[in-house]
Amino acid sequence: MAQNTMTPAELTKTLKVLKTAKEAKLTKVAVAGGSGYAGQELIRLLAQHPNVNLTAIGTNSHDGDKFSDINPGFAGMVDNICTDLNIEALAEGNDLIFLALPHGSAARLLSSSVLQKSKVIDLSGDFRLKNAAKHLLANGKPFDAAYGLPELNRHDIAHASLVANPGCYATAAILSLAPLVKAGLIVENSVIIDGKSGVSGAGRAPSLHIQFAECNETMAAYQLPHHRHTPEIEQTLSAYAADDVITTFAAHLVPMNRGILLTSYATMKTTVSKEEVTEAYLNSYKNEPFVRLWHNRGSMPETRWVKGSNFCDIGFALDQRSNRIVTVAAIDNLIKGAAGQAIQNMNIILGIDETTGIAQIPSFL
């Protein structure tokens, strides 16, 4: 068809336009902290993100090393030379920087000077709590950290200069419970959260309790009865509730690399039907690209169905005898629970399709 052909001159010009446009569009980003698991996942995903130019990897102890020498899986794919951990310098040369540092480091290193130069997405717990953030001043001004859970807070994220990426357990807990709280279905102080995590959730710093033979073939409960993500969960859910949401939260370590399965229990305010609960979830998530509801399946979410992906799968069951609801949420703790969600936040800030670079199909094994 005539209108769908181009002359050679037209084609040459077109390709030139497209190439220039693409280069101009690439966002320059840096990752501070590339040696932990979340940092490595960030780098893996960013290196293949079509809108991003990963310019720098700042590390504590690998200044001058080739990233793929430290992590041989990246050979030929991410051969960047690591720099030291100079946040100011990273901010200077980039549009956006990710902080994938141990808890406490970001609060110590971040300044308003950095935030004036570059957008910042922080994967630590340092800026997640409102009260905590208020105490962190730079030049007399508090940081305006947006809580980086896109499904609840997309608008704030889009305009924030600092995003506090949620905790992994908190992501699964809030996504599975918020629709019930919003719809006024559950008794606020009846929430019990039983979280189970793969061992990568415990970080990468060598420690006896996460050595192979210490945590293979065993299960353990830890931080009872209040995991450190508890305040983050309660703060976020309470914003949608009539009363303060109070939770009991037991975390468990399970012998596998990746994945969080989170089972929550709550008392219903009144007797409700499966349909009413389904409607509450659909109201929240029917247009969400990364939340999948299991109300039409005969089974419950499993971590393998989300492995390597940015999905959060949510199922529920009603216990008529006790008038309770049981919810089950599954995420990949390193993707939707960390690096993937951080990139989702970046996509929102950049104003591009929110799924760009993080639409991988789960790898199931």
Separation of alpha carbons 95 and 117, rounded Å: 8
Whichever of 161 and 347 has its CB closer to a second copy, that residue is 347
Interface with a second copy: number of residues (CB under 8 A): 97
Dihedral pair phi/psi, residue 257, rounded to 5°: -75, -55
Q: Is 215 a catalytic residue?
A: no
Residue 138 C-beta: closest distance to a second copy, Å:
33
Task: Please tell me whether residue 8 binds a second copy under the rule CB under 8 A.
Answer: no
Task: Please tell me whether residue 127 binds a second copy under the rule CB under 8 A.
Answer: no
Whichever of 138 and 308 has its CB closer to a second copy, that residue is 308
Show the tokens assigned to 52. Answer: 């991003």
Show the tokens assigned to 2. Answer: 């005539």
Considering Cα of 132, then 134, then 137, then 142, what sign does the dihedral take? positive
Dihedral pair phi/psi, residue 70, rounded to 5°: -75, -40
Task: Please tell me whether residue 70 binds a second copy under the rule CB under 8 A.
Answer: no
Task: Please tell me whether residue 25 binds a second copy under the rule CB under 8 A.
Answer: no
From 20, 113, 116, 283, residue interacting with a second copy (rule: CB under 8 A):
20
The reply to whether omega before 225 is within 30° of 0 (cis) is yes
Residue 328 C-beta: closest distance to a second copy, Å:
5
- Report the b/e string of 241-280 with b at 16+ CB within 10 A: beeebebbbbbbbbebebbbbbbbbbbbbeebeeeebebb
Judged by CB under 8 A, the stretch of 53-61, 124-132, 150-158, 355-363 that binds a second copy is 355-363
Whichever of 50 and 142 has its CB closer to a second copy, that residue is 50
Whichever of 178 and 191 has its CB closer to a second copy, that residue is 191
Whichever of 154 and 226 has its CB closer to a second copy, that residue is 226
Give the residue carrying structure tokens 């310098």.
Answer: 89
Q: How many CA atoms lie within 13 A of 45 on its CB side?
A: 29
From 60, 71, 238, 278, residue interacting with a second copy (rule: CB under 8 A):
71
From 56, 100, 121, 306, residue interacting with a second copy (rule: CB under 8 A):
306
Residues 227-246 that bind a second copy (CB under 8 A): 246
Task: Please tell me whether residue 226 binds a second copy under the rule CB under 8 A.
Answer: yes
104: left (phi over 0), alpha (psi -120 to 50) or beta: left
Task: Please tell me whether residue 102 binds a second copy under the rule CB under 8 A.
Answer: no
Separation of alpha carbons 247 and 257, rounded Å: 27
Task: Please tell me whether residue 258 binds a second copy under the rule CB under 8 A.
Answer: yes
Catalytic residues, which ones? 168
